[in-house]
Amino acid sequence: MTTILMVCLGNICRSPLAEGILKSKLPSEDFFVDSAGTSGYHEGEKPDLRSIEVALKNGLDISKQKSRRFIVEDFETYDYIYVMDHSNYNDVVHLARNTSDTNKVKLILEHTPDAYTLEVPDPYYGGNRGFDNVYELLDNACNQIAIALTCGE
C-alpha cells in the first residue's frame, strides 16, 4: 500500500479537494489518500461548502471528510506528503525530525511544469471562481502524480 497525505492550512478548502481528486484517479486496493491541515482551526469540520460544491460539479463527493491537524506521526504513516504552498511547506518541514521526513514533503504543483504558479492559492476569502481555479490546478497536478505513482517512478 502506498500512502499519500495532502496538506493545506485549514484542511477544509484545498487539501480535501486534493484528497478527493487523487483518490478518484488511483485504485483503492493499492493507494491510501488522506488530508490534514497545519492548523487546528477547523478540527472535526466538514470541507467548506464551496469545495464540496466544486467537487460535486466535477462528479466527486468529498462531503464525508473531516478536518484534522497534521501530526508528527504522519511522517511515519505517509510515503508522500504534498503541500499546497510555501507556508504549508515551512510549517510541515518545521516538524520534521530528520532528512527522511523532510524529503517526503513536496509542493503539489512541483510536478506540473505547465502550471503558472508553484502555489495553490488559498481560496478561503475569495469567491467561487477561486475554487474553480483551485480545482483545475489540483486536477492537473493529480493527473501527473497518478501517472508517476502508477508507472513506478
Residues that bind ligand 4NP (CB under 6 A): 8-14, 41, 122, 124
Q: Which amino acid is it at 72?
A: V
Active-site position among 13, 14, 34, 74: 14
Q: Known catalytic residue: 97? A: no
Q: Which amino acid is it at 45?
A: E
**CB of 12 or CB of 141, closer to ligand 4NP:** 12
Q: Known catalytic residue: 14? A: yes
For residue 150, the minimal CB distance to ligand 4NP (Å) is 26
Q: Known catalytic residue: 151? A: no
**CB of 5 or CB of 13, closer to ligand 4NP:** 13
Active-site position among 48, 74, 85, 122: 122
